[in-house]
Amino acid sequence: MSVHIAPKSLYISIFGALMVLTAVTVAAAFVNLGNLNAPVALAIATLKATLVVLFFMHVKYSSKMIKLVVATSLFFLTILLTETLMDFATRGWVAIPKLMH
Amino acid sequence: MLDTLKLPDHHYLNDGHGLKSWLLTKDHKRIAMMYLISITVMFALGGFFAAGVRLELMTPQGDLFLADTYNKFFTMHGVVMVFFFLIPSTPAVLGNFLIPPMVGAKDLAFPRINLLSLYIFWLGAAFFFYALFSGGVDTGWTFYTPFSSFSSNTNVVPTALGVFISGFSSILTGLNFIVTIHRMRAPGLSWFKLPLFVWAHYATSLIQVLGTPVVAITIIMVFVERAFGFGIFDPVRGGDPVLFQHLFWFYSHPAVYIMIVPALGVMSELISTFTRKTIFGYSFVAFSSLAIAVFGFIVWAHHMFVAGISPYSALVFSFLSFSVAIPSAVKVFNWTATLWKGSISFEPPMLYAYGFMGLFLVGGLTGLFLATLGTDIHLHDTYFVVAHFHYIMVGGAIMGYIGGIHFWWPKMTGRMYSEFGARMSAILVFVGFNLTFFPQFILGYMGMPRRYHAYPDEFQVLNIMSSAGAGVLGIGYILPVIYLTYSLTRGKAAGPNPWGASGLEWQTQSPPVTANFTEPPVVPAEPYEYTPHVAREANLV
């Protein structure tokens, strides 16, 4: 099994990017974006997590099998979010109006 | 012929003596035996709580326990049976013992992590015992919010932490199995030569690894809401209680398949061995395990049809729930087709298999009633639901587990047990089970709600039938403890392959040596090969 050794500078720049994104999260918290407050915070957090997974956890340099494992867990996370949101998004919908009268 | 057999001189049970040699072992077989003892203790404890519930329900008045005590009894029955017995049962005992020899390996991929999983399980159980002895918990095994996070003044936190901790044991077991099945197969043992038991455990492991973290995080959320007042599920603090149910059932519905799919794997081994035929449609049965694992993740909200979820999403979940019936039915039909023109015998493990097929069928079909939106409104939270999931959990998962224990006991201990006792036990379990739970279908249909300690007089006859059945069922479960324990010292030596079965695990001595094989196992050309040649080698003809 070959071990990929990434240059130290790469790790430092990823670390820098994570710090900058943390600052962006804090800054965004002070701006009222209305309905976009949560999506913006989550988008930044997802970006940071992606950087950690790809570089710090070496997934970018790993075998296809490891990538498949990561993709599988993301697939199941998607199921969790999609089907839960399916309930929350449609909960306020009124039942078929004609049948109600 | 059996009389001439002797136990081998060297095997894993006498390879090291004393408590330390067990507690620090890395041998998957010894770890499996320690799991066996641990979960048997938990099963007895869960049975004790069930006995309390059934005793209270013999009379319509709540005269044995206070309502609060009754709430604790059914809660602790559920918590013990689900998290500390059923989830580990077949994987941690039979899977742990058998997967390495079935794939022709010396041990699991990570022996130390395997031992760690046992210690984590014990730690989780210790938290549960702390909760139990400091007064118990009354939320129901489902820990529904906001009751669990806000209202209940019982030991929710230690119980939830016990469940949280034991979840990691389950994850580590699953991880170990996945890596072992991928990386440790004997040369020539390709995926489609693997026993279906291994396929079933592979599917189960995927659920354990992918699902368990979600319930762990959900429990942490309940913990922080209860301990620090965060508003996640409590509507007063801006949370949503139904969100808890989504997150909880995202794990706990697939958890049903953690319990049942390994038992389905056991079934395939039993039916093939005792019909002396290859499984009809091997690849369909193998892939149906994976299909159950995946479909199991997309159907959870059928537990929540009356919880106030959107009717539109309920419609989708109802439709999806029916999809799980397809791979389940594939298995049942294929087993039935395997029986056809097979050389069927009625050995004790096979009696459990026959019982399993009938009970699993009833459990599965009544699930369709509950997946249907209209009927579910009538049946939700009634004894119909209780009966349905006990047909799956007890009639399915436990029948499969105990059938498997009877099948592999000669391999695990090197000794045979009382065949008469085992037949009696299988029959008592089947009769007692039906007497206990069939009346509950009727009670539920008539409208008796679950989780109440008192009920109207007209339900008494059916409740007495149910309680009487529970007594018979209890005797059916105590019998194996007696004759299996007796067999440990007095049982006849079994020899390497008493059933004439085809798997690799039967090619080694019973009980096996610590490294499982003294010489490399011969991988057959096909799985479940019962040709005359194989039968001759097994001294069957």
Residue B385, domain CATH: 1.20.210.10
- For B401-421, the DSSP string reads HHHHHHHHHHHHHSB---HHH
Host domain of residue B407: 2-537
By the CB < 8 Å criterion, does B316 face chain A?
Answer: yes
pLDDT score recorded for residue B3? 55
Q: How many domains does chain A have?
A: 1
Q: In the 8-state DSSP scheme, what is residue B493?
A: B
Q: Report the range of poorest mean pLDDT among A1-5, A19-23, B361-365, B419-423.
A: A1-5
Task: Tell if the CB–CB gap between B313 and A76 is shorter than 8 Å.
Answer: no
> What pLDDT does residue B1 have?
45
- Name the residue among A73, A80, A88 with its Cβ closest to that of B250: A80
- A72, B210: Cβ pair inside 8 Å? yes
Q: Are B101 and B195 in contact (CB under 8 A)?
A: no
Q: Which residues pair with B415 in a beta bridge?
A: B493
User: What is the per-residue burial (b if ≥16 Cβ within 10 Å, else e) of B47-73?
Assistant: bebbbbbbebbebeebebbeeeebbbb
Is A1 domain-assigned? no
- Taking the CA of residue A70 and the nearest CA in chain B, the distance in Å comes to 11
CA distance B331 to B286: 9
Q: How many domains does chain B have?
A: 1
Closest partner residue to B214 (CB to CB) among A80, A87, A88 is A80
Q: Using an 8 Å CB-CB cutoff, list chain B residues near A93.
A: 310, 312
pLDDT recorded at residue B541 = 45
Name chain A contacts of B174, Cβ cutoff 8 Å. Answer: none
For the record, the structure tokens of B187 come out as 């040369």
* Alpha helices per DSSP H over B276-372: 282-295, 311-323, 325-339, 348-371
Please report the pLDDT score of residue B524 as a whole number.
Answer: 84
CA distance A23 to chain B (A): 24
Cβ–Cβ gap A90/B310 under 8 Å: yes
Report the residue from A76, A89, A95 with minimal CB separation from B297.
A76
Residue-by-residue pLDDT tens, chain B, 541 positions: 445 688 999 999 999 999 999 999 999 999 999 999 999 999 999 999 999 999 999 999 999 999 999 999 999 999 999 999 999 999 999 999 999 999 999 999 999 999 999 999 999 999 999 999 999 999 999 999 888 888 888 899 999 999 999 999 999 999 999 999 999 999 999 999 999 999 999 999 999 999 999 999 999 999 999 889 888 998 888 899 999 999 999 999 999 999 999 999 999 999 999 999 999 999 999 999 999 999 999 999 999 999 999 999 999 999 999 999 999 999 999 999 999 989 999 999 999 999 999 999 999 999 999 999 999 999 999 999 999 999 999 999 999 999 999 999 999 999 999 999 999 999 999 999 999 999 999 999 999 999 999 999 999 999 999 999 999 999 999 999 999 999 999 999 999 999 999 999 999 999 999 999 998 888 888 888 886 555 555 555 4
Beta-carbon separation of B310 and A76 below 8 A: no
Range of the structural domain that residue A62 is part of: 8-100
For residue A92, what is the nearest residue in chain B, using CA coordinates? B310
Residues of A in contact with B247 (CB under 8 A): 80, 84
Query: From CA B98, how far away is CA B77, in angstroms rounded?
Result: 29
Measured CA distances, B270 to A58, B202, B501 (Å): 44, 18, 9
Query: In chain B, whose CA is at the least distance from the CA of A86?
Result: B313
Report helix, strand or coil for A26: helix
Task: Measure Cα distances from B347 to B306, B415, B477 in Å.
Answer: 45, 16, 18
Question: What is the separation, in whole angstroms, between the first and last Cα of chain A?
Answer: 69
What distances in angstroms separate CA B396 from CA A54, A70, B78, one per listed residue? 43, 33, 17
Query: Which residue in B247, B251, B310 has the most chain A C-beta atoms within 10 A of its own C-beta, making it the best mutation to test that interface?
Result: B310
- Count Cβ atoms below 10 Å from residue B129 Cβ, excluding itself: 14
Cβ contact, residue pair A87, B300, below 8 Å: no
In this complex, do A93 and B243 lie within 8 Å of one another by their Cβ atoms? no
C-alpha distances in angstroms, B97 versus B325, B399, B523? Answer: 30, 18, 19
pTM of the model: 0.93
Distance from CA of A20 to the nearest CA of B (A): 28
Query: Chain B, 163-222: which have a CB under 8 Å from a chain A CB?
Result: 210-211, 214
Cβ–Cβ of A91/B301 closer than 8 Å? no
| Structural domain contains residue A18 | yes
Q: Which helix (H) or strand (E) holds B309?
A: none
For B151-162, the three-class secondary structure string (H helix, E strand, C coil) is: HCCCCHHHHHHH
Q: How far is A5 from chain B (nearest CA, A)?
A: 25
Report the residue from A83, A84, A93 with minimal CB separation from B312: A93
Residue B361 near residue B329, CB atoms below 8 Å: no
Contact A86 B313 (CB under 8 A): yes
Chain B's closest residue to A74, CA to CA, is: B210
Q: Which of A87, A89, A95 lies closest to B301 in CB terms?
A: A87
Is A91 a domain residue?
A: yes
Distance of CA B492 to the CA centre of its chain: 29
The residue among B8, B7, B10, B11 whose CA lies nearest residue B30 is B11
Angle (nearest 5°) at CA B214 between B211 and B218: 145
Of B210, B310, B317, the CB nearest to A93: B310
Q: Which residues contact A2 (CB under 8 A, 6 or more apart)?
A: none
B310 CB within 8 Å of a chain A CB: yes
Q: Is B238 on the interface with A (CB under 8 A)?
A: no
Contacts of B312 in chain A (CB under 8 A): 86, 90, 93
pLDDT in tens, A33-83: 888 988 999 999 999 999 999 999 999 999 999 999 999 999 999 999 999
Choose, out of B202, B302, B305, B309, the residue to mutate when testing the contact with A (most A CBs < 10 Å): B309
